[in-house]
């Protein structure tokens, strides 16, 4: 698979990464650990070198899974993880607030290193901006971890442009992780131009719209009671019915390219900028293979223009997060 460089950093990764969250957290009951280890190792065999996890996914279990799966090939891959939350004291899923105080960042780094079975974290993101801790303190703390050899690169997730600039002035930000896809194009207005100016890469999470853009979810699909999509305004039956038009567009364009809607959605993200790396997640081997096939699809300027014109006529229904979670983005 082709490699991409995240901004002006020396962080070189496969054009498509693998988001590992859903193997342990958020999309219903955790998948079988042995099967997921096999899936992650299969991704490596197929050319994936970029794997995304976080302390809060589980919590802890996703980092442990990724660490065990990648231990035999650690020198061949890039592992990204995240800090920034206070976790539930009883160990149950979720969190009880933001926390990016320097001592908390260091605590998370040490624990993540152990779970990931490594002596260095390749990319360490602030998961969400903590309004109670100046971003300069956060960047300075990660800068210290980089000097100590415990972290290689600093990242932010869902941060606003001014926060990105302030952080970057203290410690160069290698990558910003944001939701970005044909149905979540918010970063295009201010964030993408700022990243291009500063030489920061974009890691696009949920590039398949949390599964919706695959065409496998309809108005009548029911999710497991533990699936967090039950809480998302964009996933109400009414919103799904309205948003089907976007999937239909991808399917129609895909017929010409002999590609699935998922492959078209990923190819579209890849075509936007050479420093954007999507990290679709899956728990299924055939979906992994399908997703990776998108790296070989080239969309012409004419095709991209056609998709943009058609997509601009589709009004996406429903917010991507409930209000409380939405308030944690763009700070």
Residue numbers annotated as active site = 57
Q: Where are the alpha helices (DSSP H) in the chain?
A: 33-45, 61-70, 102-115, 135-147, 161-170, 191-198, 237-257, 261-272, 285-292, 301-311, 323-326
Q: Is there a contact between 172 and 154 (Cβ–Cβ < 8 Å)?
A: yes
CA distance 36 to 203: 22
Distance between CA atoms of 50 and 295, rounded to whole angstroms?
A: 14
Pairing of strands 95-98, 50-52: unpaired
Distance separating alpha carbons of residues 60 and 116, to the nearest angstrom: 10
CB atoms within 10 A of CB 203: 27
What values do phi and psi take at 246, rounded to 5?
-70, -40
> How many angstroms separate the CA atoms of 318 and 229, rounded?
12
Report helix, strand or coil for 49: coil
User: Three-class SS of residue 59?
Assistant: coil
Q: For residue 194, what are the contacts with CB-CB under 8 A and spacing of at least 6?
A: 161, 164, 165, 200
DSSP assignment of 238-283:
HHHHHHHHHHHHHHHHHHHHT--HHHHHHHHHHHH-TTEEE--B-S
**Dist. CA 320–CA 183, nearest whole Å:** 9
Query: Reduced to 3 DSSP states, what percent helix, strand and coil does the chain have, rounded to the nearest 5?
Result: 45, 15, 35
Is residue 185 exposed (0-12), middle (13-18) or buried (19+ Cβ within 10 Å)? middle
- β partners of residue 153: 123
């Amino acid at each position: 698979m082709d490699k991409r460089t995240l901004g002006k950093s020396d962080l070189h990764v496969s054009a498509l990464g693998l988001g590992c969250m859903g193997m342990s957290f958020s999309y219903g009951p955790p998948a079988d650990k042995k099967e997921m280890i096999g899936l992650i190792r299969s991704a490596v065999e197929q050319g994936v070198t970029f794997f995304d996890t976080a302390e809060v996914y589980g919590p802890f279990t996703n980092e442990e899974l990724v660490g065990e799966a990648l231990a035999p090939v650690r020198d061949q891959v890039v592992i990204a993880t995240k800090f920034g939350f206070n976790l539930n004291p009883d160990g149950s899923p979720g969190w009880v607030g933001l926390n990016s105080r320097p001592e908390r960042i260091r605590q998370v780094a040490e624990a993540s290193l152990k779970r990931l079975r490594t002596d260095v974290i390749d990319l360490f993101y602030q998961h969400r901006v903590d309004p109670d801790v100046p971003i300069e303190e956060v960047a300075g703390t990660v800068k210290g971890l980089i000097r100590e050899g415990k972290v290689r690169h600093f990242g932010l997730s869902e941060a606003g442009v001014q926060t990105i600039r302030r952080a970057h002035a203290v410690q160069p930000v290698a990558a910003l992780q944001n939701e970005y896809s044909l149905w979540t194009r918010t970063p295009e207005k201010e964030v993408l131009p700022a990243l291009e100016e500063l030489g920061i890469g974009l890691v696009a999470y949920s590039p398949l719209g949390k599964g919706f853009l695959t065409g496998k979810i309809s108005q009548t699909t029911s999710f497991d009671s533990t699936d967090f999509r039950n809480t998302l305004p964009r996933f109400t039956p009414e919103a799904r019915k309205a948003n089907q038009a976007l999937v239909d567009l991808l399917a129609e364009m895909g017929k010409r390219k002999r590609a699935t809607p998922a492959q078209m959605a990923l190819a579209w993200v890849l075509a936007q900028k050479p420093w954007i790396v999507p990290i679709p997640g899956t728990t299924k081997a055939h979906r992994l293979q399908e997703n990776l096939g998108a790296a070989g699809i080239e969309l012409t300027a004419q095709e991209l223009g056609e998709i943009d014109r058609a997509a601009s006529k589709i009004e996406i229904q429903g917010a991507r997060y409930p209000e409380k979670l939405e308030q944690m983005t763009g700070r």
